[in-house]
């Protein structure tokens, strides 16, 4: 079969790949998108509970985890949240803002996929779905062997995403290809993911499953103040998902269950005010009763009147309230992770174009790159921004 020839082939019809293809197509490039899934934008469709948290009001490089968060500056400046909102406006997609500046579709994530498909259609972009991509050779031009036959292309864009949720098509294709072309790939780990715990913490968390509290969760200097949810597997909720992107295996996270209160001073004050009350009853003034009981038990003070509890023991309890430091055993893994930490080393890419410095025709965009956004629409914004700048450069 003689290969058909293209200006640009984009591997991956996800958020970044569709944006890039649409932009390159609108600039007159002959673009072909390949994806092994049978429909484009599967992750967009399942995102944000079906409403796609497509960006955030507060997009800054600090909201990205990367060996070099500054790498994102140029792309985010050139195509930021308002640029994406302009595109949505042209397609008459209604949206609303939720807490922490998160923007969601009013109706459905499917509108975003349709918008990107329409933009691709306007640019004459070709699309091959259910297409397995095999060997890639050359260095501009590239030869791409696929289950739909071979294709030749002047430029190749890798937009195959991260490793999270293999069920919807995630694969390590982009990382493997980067390594083959001599680019670095930083250490990969599930991100935005619930954390799991060994016994006895695990058993205690299971007993508390369903309880959610407003807490501050830290790892090193990074701190998130949001809900923590106890589950049958450990801890989840936005604060835990956020900190999971920073957590390193073997280390403890710090949880402040009473972030607005200095617990020791408060316990000492309650000791004077209600000396006959049981310690767990006092703690339950501020925390759900089952959680109050569990933290009191962990301090060895269950069933003890607070008036007869030495302040040294209250100090231990206070530490377990203001600075509880459980050590996660691991995470729920790529099966449930919303993102992947790590990816193609940004040191090997141009931040202006997303092309590999050593291979000017080879581009990496979206989550395949070592750029992981916080929870709240940042990962999609990175996909739009990196896809747009690559599309402009092709």
Q: Give per-residue burial for 295-311: e unless 16+ CB within 10 Å, then b.
A: bbebbebeeebbeebee
Of 160 and 256, which CB lies nearer to ligand FAD in the complex structure?
160
52 scored as a contact of ligand FAD (CB under 6 A): yes
Of 48 and 81, which CB lies nearer to ligand FAD in the complex structure?
48
Of 270 and 341, which CB lies nearer to ligand FAD in the complex structure?
341
216 scored as a contact of ligand FAD (CB under 6 A): no
Binding region for ligand FAD (CB under 6 A) out of 41-49, 120-128, 211-219, 266-274: 41-49
Count, residues near ligand FAD per rule CB under 6 A: 38
379 scored as a contact of ligand FAD (CB under 6 A): yes
Of 280 and 370, which CB lies nearer to ligand FAD in the complex structure?
370
Q: How many CB atoms lie within 10 A of CB 130?
A: 12
35 scored as a contact of ligand FAD (CB under 6 A): yes
In the bound complex, which residue of the shown chain has the CB atom lying closest to ligand FAD? 14
Least CB distance to ligand FAD at residue 141 (A): 20
Give the x-and-dash track for 125-144 against ligand FAD (CB under 6 A).
--------x-----------
Give the x-and-dash track for 164-203 against ligand FAD (CB under 6 A).
xx---xxx-x------------------------------
Give the x-and-dash track for 53-92 against ligand FAD (CB under 6 A).
x---------------------------------------
338 scored as a contact of ligand FAD (CB under 6 A): yes
383 scored as a contact of ligand FAD (CB under 6 A): yes
Work out which of 84, 197, 247, 380 binds ligand FAD, going by CB under 6 A.
Answer: 380
Residues engaged in binding ligand FAD (CB under 6 A): 11-17, 34-37, 42-43, 46-48, 52-53, 133, 159-161, 164-165, 169-171, 173, 338-339, 366-368, 377-380, 383
């Amino acid at each position: 079969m003689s290969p058909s020839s293209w200006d640009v082939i984009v591997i991956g019809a996800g958020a970044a790949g569709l944006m890039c293809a649409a932009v390159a197509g609108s600039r007159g490039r002959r673009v072909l998108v390949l994806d092994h899934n049978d429909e484009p934008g599967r992750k967009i469709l399942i995102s944000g509970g079906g409403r796609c948290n497509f960006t955030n009001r507060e997009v800054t490089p600090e909201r990205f985890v990367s060996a070099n968060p500054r790498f994102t500056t140029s792309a985010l400046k050139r195509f930021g949240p308002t640029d994406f909102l302009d595109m949505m406006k042209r397609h008459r997609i209604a949206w609303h803002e939720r807490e922490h500046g998160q923007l969601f579709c009013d109706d459905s994530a499917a509108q975003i996929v349709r918008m990107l498909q329409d933009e691709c259609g306007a640019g004459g972009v070709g699309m091959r779905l259910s297409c397995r991509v095999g060997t890639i050779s050359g260095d501009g031009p590239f030869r791409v062997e696929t289950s739909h036959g071979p294709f030749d292309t002047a430029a190749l864009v890798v937009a195959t995403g991260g490793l999270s949720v293999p069920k919807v098509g995630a694969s390590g294709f982009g990382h493997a290809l980067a390594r083959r072309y001599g680019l670095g790939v930083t250490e990969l780990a599930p991100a935005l993911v619930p954390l799991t715990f060994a016994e006895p913490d695990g058993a205690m968390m299971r007993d508390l499953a369903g309880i959610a509290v407003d807490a501050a969760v830290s790892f090193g200097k990074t701190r998130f103040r949001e809900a923590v949810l106890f589950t049958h597997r450990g801890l989840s909720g936005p604060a835990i998902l956020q900190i999971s992107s920073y957590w390193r295996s073997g280390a403890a996270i710090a949880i402040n269950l009473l972030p607005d209160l200095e617990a020791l001073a408060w316990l000492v004050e309650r000791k004077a005010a209600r000396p006959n009350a049981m310690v767990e009853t006092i703690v339950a003034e501020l925390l759900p009763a089952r959680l109050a009981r569990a933290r009191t038990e962990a301090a060895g003070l269950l069933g003890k009147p607070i008036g007869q509890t030495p302040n040294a023991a209250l100090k231990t309890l206070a530490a377990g309230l203001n600075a509880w430091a459980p050590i996660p055993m691991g995470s729920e893994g790529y099966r449930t992770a919303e993102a992947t930490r790590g990816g193609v080393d940004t040191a090997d890419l141009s931040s202006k174009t997303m092309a590999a410095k050593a291979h000017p025709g080879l581009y990496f965009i979206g989550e395949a790159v070592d750029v992981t956004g916080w929870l709240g629409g940042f990962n999609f914004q990175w996909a739009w921004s990196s896809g747009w700048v690559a599309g402009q450069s092709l």
